[in-house]
Amino acid sequence: MIIMKKAMPRRTFLRGMGFTLALPLLEAMVPAATPLVRTAAKPVRRLGFVFMPMGCDITRWTPPGENRLDELSPILSSLAPVKDHVTAITNLELQNAYPGSHATSNSAFLSAAKAKLTESTDYYLGTTVDQIAAQHIGQETQLPSLELAMDLMQVVGQCDNGYACVYQNNLSWSSPTTPLPAEAHPRIVFESLFGEGGSIADRQAALRKRASLLDWFNEDIARLNRKLGPGDRTRISQYLDTVRQVERRIQKAEADAADNPLPDLDRPVGVPAAYADHARLMFDLQVLALQGDVTRIITFQLARETSNRTYPEIGVPDPHHPLSHHGNDPDKIARMAKINQFHVSLFAEFLGKLKATPEGNGTLLDHSLYLYGSGIGNPNVHDHTNLPILVAGGAAGGMKGGRHIKYEKPKPLANLHLTLLDKVGVHLDKFADSTGKVDELFQPLSV
């Protein structure tokens, strides 16, 4: 570890036996007489995307009011503690997702591009918005981007109406012919955040000799703390406590797997049995990745399109995909909406953790922009208009939350992607089928 006399470098790591530990932003990393801020005049430099599969019941999603987000809809009710940091946008569309399918819902969500109709390996899409951002700012961090999911993506061949499975397996594409597989196993994600060289097997063998990753850094942490002020020591302690808690939860899930004779075929072995516990782990890993500045670009697929996952923990034993084709049956719509509400509640918890994590003169939520939504509006008819879309965070970059932007006529989702790219410093004239930007996100609320 190297500590500068005047200021510790922002990219400071603790290192030990194949592992690295990135540190959160500390006062000691800021030169003397320099404010500990990423000021509001500077653009937000973190960008995240959370994909909700198979649309929703838009009547229970859409906030009842316009302009201000004073009242939340039933599906969005869990956002109440963070609603001042959230904007709902109504009437965005993905025209390039038509003629309409689950595969194109997933593939167009971040690319806004038309997928080549093929069942083979000659697939072709477009570079996704996250990867355009990663190409510009990803070299500033240990990982240019982080791709996460909740399901195993082992299906191959043709998955949906003549479209290759690759389209619904992968949210992120670094080029029109290069999909980036997502990782669903918390252990593998944990090691990608904290591993440094060597094989995974070597790191796992080393960990077996010591109970925790943090055991490798005890001496360095003690040495570092002697050089830090009380505020920085508190930040380090809180950060390390979070790392330790996440690691213990991963270890418990792996231990519990040995007692589960009937694992979920869509779920990797060694992850928590309950969907919510698995999702919370994946969200907490995102907090660690952002807090340690390991990456600034993240995508997360809450479930794949056509997922038949059930949600008994919230009283929905029905497979999700058949429920989404509800045939206007009120009971099926209500159960689907319960799944929608459940997914949003997990996202709301995550936003709460970002808000509770100080950084500079703000929080991780202030210094991040997250888009949450789906590539399908009405799943019963595979409609790609009037999409359920939220944008959260970004106060330090000038985003004004607590609002509902409602367009009278449909506008391209690509307009929002172009806007988010602009706020992380990637200035393009056009993205896919964009026709402009969503300037309302950064304008004062009208009375």
How does pLDDT run across 326-359, given as a tens digit for each residue?
999 999 999 999 999 999 999 999 999 999 999 9
Q: Specify the range with the lowest mean pLDDT, choosing from 158-172, 173-187, 191-205, 309-323.
A: 191-205
369-373 and 47-51 as β-strands: parallel, antiparallel, unpaired?
parallel
Q: What is the pLDDT of residue 262?
A: 45
Give the mean pLDDT of 296-300.
Answer: 97
Q: What is the mean pLDDT of residues 368-379?
A: 96
Check residues 254 and 131 and name the one with the higher pLDDT: 131
The whole-number pLDDT of residue 3 equals: 43
Q: In the chain, what are the domains?
A: 38-184+271-442 (3.40.720.10)
Note the pLDDT of residue 209: 56
Q: For the purposes of burial, counting CB atoms within 10 Å of the CB of 405, is it exposed (0-12), middle (13-18) or buried (19 or more)?
A: buried
> Which of residues 254 and 112 earns the better pLDDT score?
112
What is the average per-residue pLDDT within 297-303? 97
pLDDT value for 106? 95
Tell me which of 51-65, 87-101, 189-203, 383-397 is least confident. 189-203
Q: What is the mean pLDDT of the chain?
A: 87
pTM: 0.90
* CA dist list (Å): 406 to 90, 272, 442: 5, 39, 15
Would you place residue 271 in the very low, low, confident or very high pLDDT band (cuts 50, 70, 90)? confident
Query: Quick check: 265 pLDDT over 50?
Result: no
Q: What percent of the chain has pLDDT over 90?
A: 61
Average pLDDT over residues 271-287: 94
pLDDT surpassing 50 at residue 40: no
Better-scored residue on pLDDT, 208 or 429? 429
Higher pLDDT, 275 or 38: 275
- Give whole-number Cα distances, 122 to 106, 302, 325, 350, 351, in Å: 18, 27, 30, 38, 39
Provide mean pLDDT across the span 310-338: 95
pLDDT(292) > 50:
yes
144 vs 10, residue with greater confidence: 144
pLDDT band at 195 (very low <50, low <70, confident <90, very high): confident
Phi, psi of 294 (to 5 degrees): -70, -35
Predicted confidence band of residue 208 (pLDDT cuts 50, 70, 90) = low
Sort strands 13-16 and 19-22 into parallel, antiparallel or unpaired.
Answer: antiparallel
- Assign 20 a pLDDT band (cuts: 50, 70, 90): confident
Burial of 304 (C-beta count, 10 Å sphere; 0-12/13-18/19+): buried
pLDDT digits (tens, 9 = 90+) for 52-64: 999 999 999 999 9
Is the predicted pLDDT of residue 79 greater than 50, yes or no?
A: yes
Q: Tell me: the pLDDT tens digits for 151-180? A: 976 655 557 778 999 999 999 999 999 999
CA 353 to chain centre: 13
At 398, list the tokens. Answer: 């000038």
